[in-house]
Amino acid sequence: MTVSYIRADKDFDNIYEQLKLVNAYSEQMNLPIDTEMIDHLSQSKRISDRPNVVELFRSLNNDTLLMYDVWVMSTNVEDLVQMFSCLLKNNIEIHFIKQGIKINIQSDIMVVLGLIDQLRQLVQNEDKKGIGRPRGSKSVSKFDAHLEEIVALLKKGQSVSEIARHLGVSRSSLKDYVESRELKALLLSPIHSSSNTDARALMMETIQCPALNTIKENQL
């Protein structure tokens, strides 16, 4: 069984974008979705306060789970580790569409750790930033209404210029939209996990080792 999991989060990609990209990916990879869950609970809630997703994940066994990005599972690293452990223990194969990576119980530990560390870095960066729209959040665009059509045309191999002419819009504006949503990378590039070595190398590049805090001279 193939299950898609979509989670609302005001700071990241909205439900509509996730749905379209997950559905496009399922078609591209020939993975028809049997069950779809959209989680509307607040993104600040811990996994213990999200009974619907706990029930869903505990019910899966030898199944395939599709989701857009790692943060969809949780933005809490402790919860993410527990969720990974449970899903992999039950032989679930998880496809992270944005990263182009799928993991299962046989995956290299560095791939799993790399995904967890990506989330840790994201949360750490947002904590430092403190104010303003979090990195990765998407402002509303006039092209959102055409997302499904844009995705379909990209899948057919049409260029941004061709799509812009079809929609009657500015090529440069559409190009900015496609790049900000990473649509080409998501839909047109092969999944990295077709090679476990490629997936490992990709994650190894993103992992950051601990660093000592630097004390500014004016604080001495």
DSSP code per residue over 86-150: HHHHTT-EEEETTTTEEE-TTS-HHHHHHHHHHHHHHHHHHHHH-SSSPTT-----GGGGGHHHH
Residue 43, pLDDT score: 66
DSSP type of residue 70: G
Residues in the chain with pLDDT values less than 70: 42-43, 126-140, 182, 184-197, 199, 213-220
Q: What CA–CA distances, in Å, run from 47 to 2, 56, 72, 74?
A: 22, 12, 12, 8
Nearest to 122 by CA among 187, 179, 74: 74
25-41 tens-digit pLDDT: 888 888 999 999 988 77
Identity of the amino acid at 107? S
CB 155 within 8 A of CB 187: yes
18 CB burial (10 A radius; 0-12, 13-18, 19+)? buried
What per-residue confidence (pLDDT) applies to 66? Answer: 96
- The reported pLDDT for the residue numbered 192 is 46
Q: Where are the beta strands (DSSP E) in the chain?
A: 2-7, 35-39, 64-67, 93-96, 101-103
- Please give the CATH superfamily to which domain 2-138+181-209 belongs: Resolvase, N-terminal catalytic domain (3.40.50.1390)
Q: How far apart, in whole angstroms, are the C-alpha atoms of residue 180 and residue 190?
A: 19
Distance CA 151, CA 93 (A): 25
Amino acid at 64: T
pLDDT tens per residue across span 93-116: 999 988 888 999 998 889 899 999
What's the pLDDT score for residue 38? 87
* Nearest alpha carbon to residue 62 among 93, 35, 106, 31: 93
